[in-house]
Amino acid sequence: MRTINVEKITAEVAQMCKEAAYYLPQDVYEALKKGRETEESPVGQVVLDQIIRNSEIARAEDRPICQDTGMTIIFLEVGQDLHIEGGDLTEAINAGVAKGYTEGYLRKSVVAEPLFDRKNTQNNTPAIIYTKIVPGDQLKIELTCKGFGSENKGGIKMLVPADGVEGVKKAVLDIIQHASCNPCPPMVVGVGIGGTMDQAAYLSKRALMRKITERNAHPDYAALENELLGLINKTGIGPQLGGTTSALAVNIEWGPTHIAGLPVAVTICCHACRHSHRVL
């Protein structure tokens, strides 16, 4: 049986936090450049120039793309034949987050309790961790730093089957138009359709981990992604101060649901759509 020591996991996660915070993924960078070419608003062009230049400075100088280095979300795929030794996996991941945020000069933005004390944990832990057990003996880690300017603008709608495709489009557009200039557009829009209320929300997050140049494997959902992107770019929101580049992509993930339901969740990500990946 293959084994991995938790120390290795801690070290990798620490590195992944810094990578995500400093280096904008290439697909997002290219989409911004493409947006700049087609943007019709002169003010929008100025904003996009700043955003593109910003990501170049961050990459060249190892600096956080944004001061909100987010809450850390981790998607794990643990091979069922893998043995993790040397300690507690969750603790090892959080130790990695603490190390990465401290060594990397990232902002610590997590409070231990949400309502009464709101005391900062001072090391950005705990991370939110989703674990899936899969066949094989590998450990796949996907990490994202999720800023809350955009997170606060997400939403969920429990539609009924009769609402259909039109209902889904309307639900997504309502959430986006309500978010407007606030989530630092151009946005990347994650949509989760189906499952239960919580599952739809999870799927909308998961959708943001996919490359923005990659469409859903199901042709109907792929077409819906394209259609929604076209509609969002007609809202006028643009890159914060109006224009035609409101979103860079719409990524949909879907799952089986109940005969009576059609949950739709939207997670909005800003242009600082940051993630890093490892297979150990």
Please count the residues of this chain forming the interface with ligand SF4, following the rule CB under 6 A: 10
**Helix, strand counts (H, E) of the chain:** 8, 10
Query: Across-strand partners of 195?
Result: 257
Stretch that binds other proteins, among 196-204, 208-216, 217-225, 237-245 (CB under 8 A): 237-245
Among the listed residues 157, 206, 271, 275, the single contact to other proteins using CB under 8 A? 271
Least Cβ distance, residue 17 to ligand SF4 (angstroms): 14
What residues contact residue 219 under an 8 Å CB cut-off, 6+ apart?
none
d(CA 188, CA 169): 16
Among the listed residues 65, 76, 200, 224, the single contact to other proteins using CB under 8 A? 65
Least Cβ distance, residue 280 to ligand SF4 (angstroms): 28
- Which amino acid type is present at position 33? K
- Which amino acid type is present at position 188? V
- Within residues 168-227, the interface with ligand SF4 by CB under 6 A covers 183-184
Q: Choosing among other proteins, ligand SF4, none, which partner's interface includes residue 164 (Cβ < 5 to 8 Å by kind)?
A: none
d(CA 272, CA 276): 13
Query: Which position has the token pair 């997002």?
Result: 28
- Within residues 166-185, the interface with other proteins by CB under 8 A covers 173, 180-182, 184
d(CA 279, CA 214): 20
| Positions in the binding site for other proteins (CB under 8 A) | 40-44, 46-47, 50-51, 53-55, 57-58, 61, 63-69, 105-109, 120, 147, 149, 152, 173, 180-182, 184, 231, 234-238, 240-244, 270-272
